[in-house]
Each structure stands twice: as C-alpha cells, then as structure tokens.
Amino acid sequence: MFDILFVMIFGLSGRVLTKDTDTKGRFSSPVVDVTEKQLIIERNQTLQLNCRGRWEVHWVLPSGVPKVYHGTQIEETRCGKKNNQYCSRLMLSPALAQHTGSYRCRYRQKQRKQASVYVYITDSQQPFVKVQSEIPDVVYMKEGEPLVFPCRVTNPDAKVSLVKFPFHRLAPDYRNIIWNSRQGFTIRSPTFFYIGLFSCETIVNGVKYSNKFLTHRPVNKILDVYLNSTGLVHTLQGQMLALNCTVTAEWNARVSISWTYPQKANGSATIIRRISRSRSNMLFYSILTIPTLSKADRGLYKCHVTSGPSKRETNTTVIVYDQPFIRLKHRDGPVVQASAGQKSFRLTPKLRAFPAPEVIWLKDGMIAAERCSRYHVDGISLVIRDVAEEDSGIYTILTGIQQYGLYQNLTLTLVVNVKPQIGEKTVSSQQPGTVQRGSRQALHCTSHGVPPPQIQWLWHPCPPKGLS
C-alpha cells in the first residue's frame, strides 16, 4: 500500500518535470518545416518555407536573392496552441537558379540560434549558380590556406570538372582536389601549379557551361622598414619635425603605412606618401611633418606597415625642449689627477645641451690643441696622449650655441703625479770608498716627484767581516 502510493507520487512528479524541460528545450532554436537538410525544386516553382519559434524570427537568404525582390513574400503570425509562438512563412516565386543556397531562420535577438535548409533550384540552362560574366572572377590565394573555386551548382547531381587552361583536366581525388556541389572545388594544398586561369565545366543536354576563375597570389612580403631617425629625436618647441618611414617590399606588393603619434587626435601632422620602384623592389615612403612643434607633441611616434597579413612597425621617441640650453658641470670635482707616463687621459665634464654646442678647450688660456700635438678634442672631451708632468695646469672648456647666444665655461685643474726618483741613482753607482775615521762626510740624495717626496735615511751596518 505504501509502496504503490510512493510510486504514484514519484511518477507524477517525474512527468511534470519532463514536460517542463520539453517545452523549454523544444524551441531553443527556431524550427523549419523541412525535415531533410536539402530541398530540390525546379526553376519557376514557388519555394515555400515555414519557420516557428518561441521568439520573433527572421530570414537570412542566399546572396543570390536580391535584397529587394518582388518575388519574395514573408508572412509573420502568432501561432501555437496558446498563440505564444511566432511563425514566419517565406515564399519565393518564381524561384530562379541563382537563388540556390542556404536559407536560414534565426531568432532576432539570439542570432546564433538558427535553422537552415539548403535549396537547389535546378535549371537545365543554368547549371552554375553564378552566370559567367565576360571577365573571369579573381580568386586570391593565401599561403597555407586552401584554394576554393566557388563554382556552386544548381543541381546536386551535376558532373563538374576543373580545367586549367588550356586543357589540363583535373579530377577530384578527395584528398587534395575536393568537389562539393554547395562550395565548388577546393584545393587543400595549392602549389604554384594553381596560379593561372581555371574553369569549372559541365555539360547539360550536349551544351557546355563554364565558370572561369583567375587565381592570383598577392605579394605581401615586407623586406624592410626604416625610420630615418630611431632612438631619440631631440627638438625645440616651435621647430619643424619631419620623419621619413621607408618601406622596402617585393615587386607588385601593396603596402599601407599608418602612423600613431601623441597629437594624432588633433591631426597636427601632415602625411605625404610616395612610391618608387627599383629594379628588384618597391619603395614606399610616408613622410610625417609637424610644422610647428609644441610640448604636447613629445612622445612616441610609430610607423605601422601592413601588407595583407604581414605587419611590421618601427618607432622613435621625440623630445621637445622649451628652449635651447647648456648645462655644464664637473664630473669629479674641479681638480683631477693623472699620472705621468699614462698612455692617455681624458678630461670629460658633464655636459647636457640642446642643440649641440661648439666646444673649445683651453690650457692655461691658450687653445689646447695648438699648444701641444699630444692634445686632441674628441666629442666634448680633451684627450691627452702620453701624459707628462708639463700637462699639469688649468684647463677650460668653452661651450657655445652661437645661434642662440648661449655660452658656458668650466675650469678644471689637472695635477700630474710623478713617481719619486733619486737623482744620484741615475748618475753612477758609486763604489764604496774608504774614508778616514773621524773625518766628516756629507752624503747627498736628490729626489724629484709630484707631489714632492719625503726623504728618509736608513743606516744598515756592514756585516761583520768573518760572516761574508
């Protein structure tokens, strides 16, 4: 008794549950009243499709059906037992071969939820969906991607072959060459063989029909991108900035060059483009010019280059100074030391300036380089070769930007240290003479060095006679 009751309750609740999920699951996507995945009708017939769903639906038609076509009719109604569903009927009359394709019914709000049916509209006089125009269609080949000759047909049973001009007939092998009546021919791994003029051909009632294609391999190789100043560009407010981005690419390549820069939103720059060809390459120039720089123009300037899927970029940072300046300071204090005999010595103060100043070095009030052939100026440094004692002295660096009347001087003192030397040692090695006991003897030691050496006398008693 207990058991039966339990089963009844369980059964009931189970049914309610399944019914609930049923209605929820049922129209999660709209439903079209064609159970087969494809439909075949004849030209001039009427195509009629019905779609039903829980929300409003709309139709997406093949590209061959004009957006505004007098033969298209759509009727939308509320339907279902409680009128809580949405129905839409599509009628296309007369249906034409070029209307062949996938008909989709979607929820207006949830576009990914859709039902579709592929409709072939057969026409013995139009076996290909697209009617061949005078000029062949261009098909672009992309590296590493399959090549598709889109010769869709209006009859799924059509026998179509692919021909490379003038007479190379290619049969589908279902490995590399694949035929599909809804797509055309697909070449999975196209080689250079597939560059040229091709046609899809079929014969209906003894009449040959074709769709012609010209394959084209776009050239996208960017060989080099060059910005005429990389790193830092130092400039002054009010001056002009010009950057030249040069792209070298393969012959026949098309590239597009764009810039990003701090004041791009204001459009403060003008950009000029030029193309030139050399025997082996194409050169593309893009020259960005800002006629009058302001502080806001400082920052990163990037030149972006694209050619098909290829991308490259290069950049430079622009520093804009308010005004010209020179800042000159000692690096290690006003007195520097070197040693006599040093191979070379460099006097280098700290200098920051814009624009680059002229530099003159003086030694003791005279132009250093004219004073001694061992002195030469390298950048802003004074280099002294084979340092000697006489190089000690007062050195002055004069810096100036004449254009702006800016000048700065800095003086430093060089002390050349000399190792102490004993003069007598160089004269002769005196033999130890004998002197009379009790006499007065003067011993001389002459020494020189910088700084002046201290002299210290030491006395070593002679070893007792017997020991030597």
Ligand X SMILES: *[C@@H]1O[C@H](CO)[C@@H](O)[C@H](O)[C@H]1NC(C)=O
Residues near ligand X (CB under 6 A) are 43-44, 228-229, 242-244, 246, 263, 265-266, 285, 287, 294, 296, 300, 314-315, 398, 407-409
In the complex with ligand X, the residue whose CB is nearer, 177 or 326, is 326
In the complex with ligand X, the residue whose CB is nearer, 229 or 381, is 229
| Residue 312 CB partners (closer than 8 Å, separation 6+) | 222, 225, 247, 304, 305
Q: How far is CA 431 from CA 427, 434, 447, in A?
A: 12, 9, 20
In the complex with ligand X, the residue whose CB is nearer, 76 or 224, is 224
Separation between Cα atoms, residue 311 and residue 223, nearest integer Å: 11
Q: What is the closest distance, in whole angstroms, from the C-beta atom of residue 250 to ligand X in the complex?
A: 18
Query: 270, 335, 282, 279: which is closest to 307 by C-alpha?
Result: 282
Strands (E), 221-263: 222-227, 231-236, 241-250, 256-260
Q: What is the closest distance, in whole angstroms, from the C-beta atom of residue 242 to ligand X in the complex?
A: 3
Q: What is the closest distance, in whole angstroms, from the C-beta atom of residue 396 to ligand X in the complex?
A: 7
Separation between Cα atoms, residue 329 and residue 335, nearest integer Å: 13
The Cβ-side half-sphere exposure at 339, using a 13 Å CA radius, reads 5
In the complex with ligand X, the residue whose CB is nearer, 285 or 325, is 285
Q: What is the closest distance, in whole angstroms, from the C-beta atom of residue 253 to ligand X in the complex?
A: 18
Q: What is the closest distance, in whole angstroms, from the C-beta atom of residue 134 to ligand X in the complex?
A: 24
Tokens of 278: 């050399």
Q: How far is CA 77 from CA 55, 73, 419, in A?
A: 11, 13, 111
Question: Helix or strand or coil: residue 430?
Answer: coil
- Give the chain's end-to-end CA distance (angstroms, integer): 136
In the complex with ligand X, the residue whose CB is nearer, 231 or 463, is 231
In the complex with ligand X, the residue whose CB is nearer, 44 or 337, is 44
Amino acid identity of residue 417, one-letter, is: N
In the complex with ligand X, the residue whose CB is nearer, 186 or 315, is 315
Separation between Cα atoms, residue 41 and residue 103, nearest integer Å: 14
Query: 265, 321, 325, 324: which is closest to 295 by C-alpha?
Result: 321
Q: What is the closest distance, in whole angstroms, from the C-beta atom of residue 330 to ligand X in the complex?
A: 15
Tokens of 225: 């991108």
Q: What is the closest distance, in whole angstroms, from the C-beta atom of residue 167 to ligand X in the complex?
A: 33
In the complex with ligand X, the residue whose CB is nearer, 393 or 449, is 393
Q: What is the closest distance, in whole angstroms, from the C-beta atom of residue 368 to ligand X in the complex?
A: 13
Q: What is the closest distance, in whole angstroms, from the C-beta atom of residue 259 to ligand X in the complex?
A: 13
Q: Kindly report the backbone phi and psi dihedral angles of residue 69, in degrees, each rounded to the nearest multiple of 5, phi listed first.
A: -130, 125
In the complex with ligand X, the residue whose CB is nearer, 183 or 409, is 409
Separation between Cα atoms, residue 88 and residue 74, nearest integer Å: 7
Query: 292, 300, 222: which is closest to 257 by C-alpha?
Result: 222
| Residue 241 CB partners (closer than 8 Å, separation 6+) | 233, 235, 288, 289, 290, 293, 297, 318
Q: What is the closest distance, in whole angstroms, from the C-beta atom of residue 326 to ligand X in the complex?
A: 9
In the complex with ligand X, the residue whose CB is nearer, 263 or 417, is 263
